[in-house]
Structure 1
Amino acid sequence: MRRRLINSTLAVVLVVVAVFGVSLVIVETRTISSTAQESVDSEALRLISSVESRLLGEERINRDVLAQQIDPNRYARIEIPGRKPIEVGVRPEGGVIRGTAHGEGGESVTVEESRSTVTAEVGRTMLIIGAVALLAVIAAVLLAVRQANKLASPLTDLAETAERLGSGDPRPRHKRYGVPELDRVADVLDASAERIGRMLTAERRLAADASHQLRTPLTALSMRLEEISATDDLDTVKEEATVALTQVERLTDVVERLLTNARDPRSGSAVAFDLDEVVQQQVDEWRPVARSAGRAIVQSGKKGLQAVGTPGAVAQVLAALIENSLMHGRGTVALRTRVTGNQTVVEVTDEGPGVPHELGARIFERTISGRNSTGIGLAVARDLSEADGGRLEMLQQQPPVFALFLSREAQGRRTREQPPATIR
């Protein structure tokens, strides 16, 4: 592209220089020749006037007197009737420019000048025109190279940007070139890069969330299947199989919820549900894990509470909080339900050291963890709670108290405080 731009610009300049240069040479040649002819004619007229004035004054007319009145580079011949012709200067050879003037008494003066002087003047003029044309061509080439680089370099950059997008690097360059058309292409590529970046981020986030959220249900399901395979009691098999089927349903709900949040985080289908049932389900599901770790789960608070949300999402949030307590905390994991204003609250706490002071509210940020964990669980839990119109808060750092706030469904019956019951 650079070569084509330079060649086309150079061709245009050469055509313009040739047309105007030839025309200017022709005009200048004619002007110089005409000027030289007028000068010779003027010299002849001036010389004949001098001769006539001297004849009328009866002054001497000789070669020495006339030589002082003529250009040394010219030749003059003065003819006076009854006298011998007078010649001044050296008669030029070859082509000459001749001017003749006649007096009233029959006198005549002929002035000649070599045409080589005109040729030399024309040569100097052509040299100047040629130098100017050469400078114009050089300036045109430099301008063409600059313009070609200005147009070709951005295209190379845009091609590299498009190649980076194709190779999976969606970082926008935010580089502009001062050319509206190229800047428009750069705007489109940057917008595409940002969209691709958001899509890749969403896909990576979905993969991380899926691996984190599916791990617990799969572990619990594996433990149920191990218990089934280790017993010969048909009733135990049926009981464990029923629980396993429930966990499979929850696993399916987790997958659907993750896919729904990936498409639209606010597309949850909130309904009124029995909060006790969801809390009890999580207690039953995490009982084997807590037992194997030598720990217990305590459930207390008001019973018969109704909440508005998505049961599967609420179960995932509680699972994330319980898992967080089992992984980072110590002692008994306590779940407590209560009512505050028009909201139902589920608190999850343990007897561990709590959240370090340097983490604070950042505990809900992705990749933030007090230990060597993924740092995804609490972030996903907060996203799920907000998608249902609720919120997840850390009420206390030491010991840790996490609270899930949900909209409350008004009840026609009173609920009463239940004493703590340890699930072993």
Structure 2
Amino acid sequence: MSQLQTQSIEPTIVPRDRHVISRSRISDHALKVLYRLKTAGYGAYLVGGGVRDLSLNRDPKDFDVATDATPEQVKALFRNCRLIGRRFRLAHVHFGPEIIEVATFRALTPSDGEQNNDRVMEDGMILRDNVYGDIEEDALRRDFTVNALYYNIADFSIVDYAGGMADLEARQLRLIGEPEVRYREDPVRMLRAVRFAAKLDFVIDPATADPIPRMADLLADIPPARLFDEVLKLFMGGQGAQTIDALRHYGLFRYLFPATDSALDDDPSGARLAFVKQALANTDARINDGRPVTPAFLFAALLWPAIMAQLPGEQLAPGIDPELLEQAVTEALERQLRRVAIPKRFSLPMREIWSLQPRLDTRSQSKARRLFGHPRFRAAYDFLLLRAEAGLADPALAQWWTEFQASSDDAPPPAPPRRRRRNRSR
């Protein structure tokens, strides 16, 4: 895999009557892109997760297309096309809210450190790759065998160069090529292995899994903004509770949430881990029920053990000095942002959820009424329930707030205090 192939590989062709993919389950817009490319004389294939999920009788989240047309040639065919990306040049064909991503076949990555304006590598890591090849090379440079399946719109067959159909049948996740080389090319592939295994309920092939713990430190070289996107994919796909176990098992979690990982290791009672896993389980339930979730609440839960570890006595004591809590929050966030970027649109609500926790430690009706009108009250209350479930807060306090809300459902929140007008002398 790490060197250009000198001999062609004969692909397995699965004809239409031997697979389950039907055009009726493919997006109309994806079909439009495929057929227009085909009519213009180009190869046109549905590829990647769309083929994988359809083969497993799942509904794909999106549909990607691979072709031998260059991005500029794709753009010439579609007025609604935009070219994006420097690291990987792609064509995005826009149909209202749906975007069909069209990628030109990429060439294999050589091991001799070849570098030019279109391909840049450093210490084995791909920094830019816009060298185009054929479908065989494109298939063999993809990450996992089950993501290297091509649905050919010309005859409705599946083209398989890497044994992906057999791995789908075996429910196995296997890297294409030498795992250590592939992880060095892009360390995020280690996170993708964990994510796909959890999403598909697959077993990671031993040869694919074995190098991960000793290569996990390569994640330290990944930009924090990219890791933010990967964290959202890991924990907002509906399998977050299983995912965190796998991340910790392979030693990956410490490179995403270092302070949290230390706080979980230093907690003999296991209450902090129970809190995080319950938060993830609740998030999973909401996602799988089609209800909205916010990354702010998710990140607030993932970082809470790191904040607790900074507090006196490593707990949120009643009547705690707000400055101590603010200092712990600031230290935890600063350390976290060096690994995973968190946009302010999420970090600011997170701070509000945390700052409301000591204020919820009250059974005063008047104070409760004032808090009831806070825009982050509901999220902070849900956070308190999770803390109580995990043994990190008084269950009786959580019950008091539940009963208070039940008795106050019809009561409007308190009006804001009126500002006094000051008499002005002429």
TM-score (norm 2): 0.20
Return the structure number with greater helix share.
1
Return the structure number with greater strand share.
1
Asked which structure has the greater CA Rg, the reply is 1
TM-score (norm 1): 0.20
